[in-house]
Amino acid sequence: MSLELSAPIGILDEHPEWSARLCAELQLRRLPFEKIDHSNHAFDPHDRTRRYSVIVNRTSPSSHRRGHGSVLFYAEPLLAHWQALGVPVINPVAAWRFEKSKALQLGLFERLGVRYPRTIVVNHRDQLLKASEPPGLVYEETFRIAEGQEVRVESLEDLVGYRLPLHARRLERS
């Protein structure tokens, strides 16, 4: 079976190794592709040219760990641009929004009736005091931060004193 593409496959990926197997398979099948490193990238919203036959979105919320913190916020408008042009996107904007937001993931779990650890989403550290009610909760908890980091706290003072980002999730002990 032969497949002719009008434009190359775009692989949106800032990690140097994650798409190696995909690229090897595309080369083996002689399918044109272009790796797009969106950690150092620009696009013109006025340019309506469809440069790709399909986009494979391999964006990771952990991109900041590799010095590519801007990818977290840049990927969504870039994907939306391509989608608006009619370019099919594997892992499109809707999927990316869930990938990068624990709060959205938990909302989906709630709608689907999937069990998950008790969670409070906060947008400011002052809200942690309210989230810790009722009083007398025993701390020695680990909080997972959206970007994949975990913070261990052993007292309410530690919890309030630590500058957590927009949302954190208490991990329940088994």
According to the model, what pLDDT value does residue 32 have? 96
Domain range 9-100, CATH class: alpha beta
Residue extents of the structural domains in the chain: 9-100, 103-171
Per DSSP, the three-state class of 9 is strand
Supply φ then ψ for residue 31, to 5 degrees: -100, 130
According to the model, what pLDDT value does residue 135 have? 54
Per residue in 162-171, pLDDT tens?
554 444 444 4
According to the model, what pLDDT value does residue 88 have? 96
Beta strand 89-90 with 9-12 is unpaired
Structure tokens given for 130: 């309210």
According to the model, what pLDDT value does residue 140 have? 43
Residue ranges of the chain with pLDDT lower than 50? 1, 136-142, 146, 164-174
Cβ burial, residue 151 (10 Å; 0-12/13-18/19+): middle
According to the model, what pLDDT value does residue 1 have? 47
